[in-house]
A and B are shown apart, each in its own frame.
Chain A
């Protein structure tokens, strides 16, 4: 059966035509996006995550539109097909910087709820130190620098025993707007690690935004979480990811040592600034966000 006919029959859409084959269709209720899935597990992960995100936080996202029989997806020859809203308006996040922090915090809470068993674990400190010894022969100068930073690394790991280690669908996404409200357009890709997302996002916020916006983000990120999660979130943000990444990169043969070290130093210095910005007193285990 022709795909359009199948969609029309299952979803009850009228006046159906392709706007952009095979991703966007026009229906009697407006444009719709069509997604194709090969793996059922991934489809079900996204189905549950998106429904849960909306129910728990009220954040609108590209949930699966149901068929006339209330099914979230339909089987096709090559896998499964789902239909979603097609939203064009971009979210003006410059006007509402706190919304991105709130979104990230909501995604993390949702990710923890979906996979409660594997979301908290200690930072892989011992493994990273072990890997560092291999750098000694490859690049002694970098090795001594990285070794000398261990006391600071330890300080950055003493805030809380665990970091967040769950997964969230936060890659290739976009932030849209529907009727003045944030609409999170999640990609159909596999979920990514929360700690990578947090570390990258915080650096991005820092690089792109002015101090007040950064504080808005950070406040929103921490505002709606309980004490335990708040501590794990802060620990994840301040953990020495750039130190770990640098050691991993130096182990790869053929890596450009100068470039790797330059990036590392920049990020390390940025992290110092970030902790200063959010009033983070690592040694005393206190965090205060400046208004």
Chain B
């Protein structure tokens, strides 16, 4: 369905339309709106609607509600996907650091509002544990294969040399991630408790906007019910800027989060396990091999070494955690 026919469903007649990333900004006489065209399954749409309803009941206001069409639909089918409309919230307000501070507090508030103790099931916990071990081991195995392949060569490229140099350190972090995951597993079994929250699912600063001194979460497309650690780890990873990383900021973020919503001891172990696992460094290897962005070789090397520094910084944060 073309955009004009889509906007007809909302009785909107655009005065100005601007494509901004994945969103279209639409200025009309009745206000400014954000139109997102995406692919969502029925269960994802249902979850977003359920979340909205729940947020309203809880009087949680840090989210941007979906506009309904004149026929009462929250989503409009577009042939190959769906579209939804929200009021436009200008996100340019506030310094990046201020925004992150506000973001982590709102995230803690969201988790606090929706926290729920789940009925303890040893089987479910065991499955989660085994699944995580399997996924991480597969990733580690890929990296081992890669290092074995490049070690056979006589001449290594600067990137390969850097990777080989740091490989054992990376494996050490993988072991630490495994150890902390084991701790989590043992502690959960001992405490016989497991709690969940509404997780945003893609908790990066780009999905949070500040306006009028308030912060709003946007894009709940990947929302799930899961452990709060899932969102928190995603946020910490996505808020780390490799070239300006300061471990004190990460410590402060965790402290700020815990001032609103305290993590249980076993959740702290799980968070440490997530953060120790050097997924982001492994992704640099994939990015180097694919080089879709056509970066110069040296850029890959610099990013890789910076990520190693970030891992060392996170290690420092986690030693006292």
The residues of A with any CB-CB pair to B shorter than 8 Å are 29-30, 51, 54-55, 58, 60, 63-66, 70, 72, 178-181
Contact A179 to B5, CB < 8 A, known contacts A58-B79, A64-B71, A72-B72: yes
Question: Which of the listed residues B68, B70, B79 has the most CB atoms from chain A within 10 Å of its own CB?
Answer: B70
Docked CA distance A64–B72 (Å): 9
How many A-B residue pairs lie within 8 Å, measured between CB atoms? 35
Contact B79 A66 (CB under 8 A): no
In the complex, which residues of chain B have a beta carbon less than 8 angstroms from the beta carbon of A178? 5, 8
Is B2 among interface residues, defined by CB-CB distance under 8 A?
yes
Contact A65 B77 (CB under 8 A): no
Contact B1 A181 (CB under 8 A): yes
Contact B70 A181 (CB under 8 A): no
Is B11 among interface residues, defined by CB-CB distance under 8 A?
yes
Is B4 among interface residues, defined by CB-CB distance under 8 A?
yes
Docked CA distance A64–B79 (Å): 21
The residues of B with any CB-CB pair to A shorter than 8 Å are 1-2, 4-5, 8, 11, 68, 70-72, 77-79
Shortest beta-carbon distance, A183 to chain B, in Å? 9
Contact B4 A70 (CB under 8 A): no
**Would you mind naming 23 contact pairs between A and B with Cβ atoms under 8 Å apart?**
A29-B11, A30-B11, A54-B71, A54-B77, A55-B77, A58-B1, A58-B77, A60-B5, A65-B70, A66-B68, A66-B70, A66-B72, A70-B72, A72-B72, A179-B2, A179-B4, A179-B5, A179-B8, A180-B4, A180-B5, A181-B1, A181-B2, A181-B5
Shortest beta-carbon distance, B7 to chain A, in Å? 8
Given contacts A29-B11, A70-B68, A72-B72, 15 further A-B contacts (CB under 8 A): A30-B11, A54-B71, A58-B77, A58-B78, A64-B71, A65-B70, A66-B70, A179-B2, A179-B4, A179-B8, A180-B2, A180-B4, A180-B5, A181-B2, A181-B5
Docked CA distance A70–B78 (Å): 22
Shortest beta-carbon distance, B59 to chain A, in Å? 20
In the complex, which residues of chain A have a beta carbon less than 8 angstroms from the beta carbon of B1? 58, 181
By Cβ-Cβ distance, the 3 closest A-B pairs, closest first, are A66-B72, A179-B4, A179-B5
In the complex, which residues of chain A have a beta carbon less than 8 angstroms from the beta carbon of B2? 179-181
Contact A51 to B71, CB < 8 A, known contacts A58-B79, A181-B1, A181-B2: yes
Chain B residue nearest in CB terms to A177: B5
Shortest beta-carbon distance, B161 to chain A, in Å? 55
Chain A residue nearest in CB terms to B3: A179
Question: Which of the listed residues A30, A51, A58 has the most CB atoms from chain B within 10 Å of its own CB?
Answer: A58
Contact A66 B4 (CB under 8 A): no
Shortest beta-carbon distance, B165 to chain A, in Å? 56
In the complex, which residues of chain A have a beta carbon less than 8 angstroms from the beta carbon of B77? 54-55, 58
Shortest beta-carbon distance, B53 to chain A, in Å? 12
Contact A66 to B5, CB < 8 A, known contacts A30-B11, A55-B77, A58-B77: no
Chain B residue nearest in CB terms to A67: B72
Chain B residue nearest in CB terms to A60: B5
Shortest beta-carbon distance, B254 to chain A, in Å? 42
In the complex, which residues of chain B have a beta carbon less than 8 angstroms from the beta carbon of A55? 77
Chain B residue nearest in CB terms to A27: B11
Question: Which of the listed residues A60, A64, A179 has the most CB atoms from chain B within 10 Å of its own CB?
Answer: A179
Shortest beta-carbon distance, A86 to chain B, in Å? 12
Contact A63 to B11, CB < 8 A, known contacts A179-B4, A181-B5: no
Chain B residue nearest in CB terms to A71: B72
Docked CA distance A58–B4 (Å): 14
Chain A residue nearest in CB terms to B72: A66
Docked CA distance A180–B5 (Å): 8
Chain A residue nearest in CB terms to B69: A66
Docked CA distance A64–B71 (Å): 6
In the complex, which residues of chain A have a beta carbon less than 8 angstroms from the beta carbon of B70? 65-66
Docked CA distance A127–B2 (Å): 50
Contact A63 to B8, CB < 8 A, known contacts A179-B2, A180-B2, A181-B2: no
In the complex, which residues of chain B have a beta carbon less than 8 angstroms from the beta carbon of A58? 1, 77-79
Docked CA distance A19–B8 (Å): 21
Docked CA distance A180–B8 (Å): 11
Docked CA distance A58–B2 (Å): 11
Choose among B71, B78, B79 the residue that contacts A65 (Cβ–Cβ < 8 A). Answer: B71
Docked CA distance A181–B68 (Å): 21
